[in-house]
Amino acid sequence: MLESLSLSDSALPSTSPDATSDKPPRRKKRWVAAILSFLFPGLGQVYAGYPRRGMTIALTLWAISFLVFHFRLLQYPAGLFLWIVAGLIVLAAVMIDAAVLARRESESPKRIGWRSSYIAMASVVVVSAIFPRAAGLPPHARPFKVPSASMCPTICEHERIIANMTAYKNRMPERGDLILLRQPSFGEALLIKRVIATGGDTVRQGSQGEILVNGRPLAPLSICDKPRIGDQMRSEAIDFESTTVPGGSFFVVGDNLNNSLDSRTREFGFVTGDQIRGKPLYLYWSPVFSRIGCKVR
């Protein structure tokens, strides 16, 4: 007597769509996740399989950046210092988080649709790209390195400043103000000078070589700490002729009076409003540590 044999369902090879289409999960590399979050905070989390987390990080950092820039907190030394320190700490935390999530995903993978993953990645890149990063500055605040000693002891050679590029957008500088200006003979370079006279003022040289504006000597400089001046200062006075400043123009000098090319020379001349680009605010770096954070005025 023949005995019919039948295989149980469990012994049969599976033919379900999921079983045939599934591939071994791709191992998430921790260093890749960390690098992606360094370039675009939140992108490493998306790569590790956590798109919502990545989007939340990207949008949160965007919102914080918007508030910082909107209230112009980087115009103050403390604001810039806290921004840089906090930015580095947050960036490190986001990178570590991405690496940990990538390791977790490799050990216990989740299924995420490729469309959702790519959309989240693109969104994080766009959000990060349309606004300045943690190490960046808003458009109205720009960093500059000072290549000369013409403004010493207020701003000396090799020091670095933050300047407000919109400070004179709605007003013209007054006597005593510092300005960033573009002088045609210097090409695209921006110069720092001090306005000592405006339209209608008379500037002349005193008997001792001092500068007199409307008959009065220049006010003494106010600096927060003494720099290492060394050979940046010179003793030779620059002679110039008495002059009256035309309307709408400014007479500017460098605070290092004996070592500055400025309105006292014909080749430099007067400065007009369309040459003014911004206003120096403070030193964010100096070889003299005690001068870091000094307001320049």
Q: pTM score, two decimals?
A: 0.64
Q: What is the pLDDT of residues 275-292, one digit of tens each?
A: 999 999 999 888 888 888
CATH assignment of the domain containing 145: 2.10.109.10
Residue 283: which residues within 8 A CB-CB, separation 6 or more? 155, 159, 160, 161, 291, 292, 293, 294, 296
**What average pLDDT does the structure give for the chain?**
81
For the chain, how many structural domains are there in total? 2
- Per-residue pLDDT, 129: 63
Q: Could you tell me if residue 8 is inside a domain? A: no
Helices and strands (H and E) in the chain: how many: 6, 11
Average pLDDT over every residue of 152-177: 92
Rounded to the nearest 10 degrees, how much is the dihedral formed by the CA atoms of 78, 79, 83, 85?
Answer: 10
Q: Could you tell me if residue 18 is inside a domain? A: no
Lookup result for tokens 């604001």: 79
Residue 95 and residue 115 share a domain: yes
Which among 86, 108, 129 is the end of a domain?
129
- Per-residue pLDDT, 131: 55
Average pLDDT over every residue of 114-122: 68
Average pLDDT over every residue of 250-264: 94
Residue 265 and residue 168 share a domain: yes
- Per-residue pLDDT, 70: 67
Residue 125 and residue 35 share a domain: yes
Residue 277 CB: number of other CB atoms within 10 A?
Answer: 17
Residue 158 has pLDDT above 50, yes or no: yes
13 pLDDT tier (thresholds 50, 70, 90): very low
Tokens representing 48 are 């590790």
Q: What is the pLDDT of residues 67-116, one digit of tens each?
A: 877 676 766 777 777 887 888 899 999 999 999 998 887 666 665 555 66
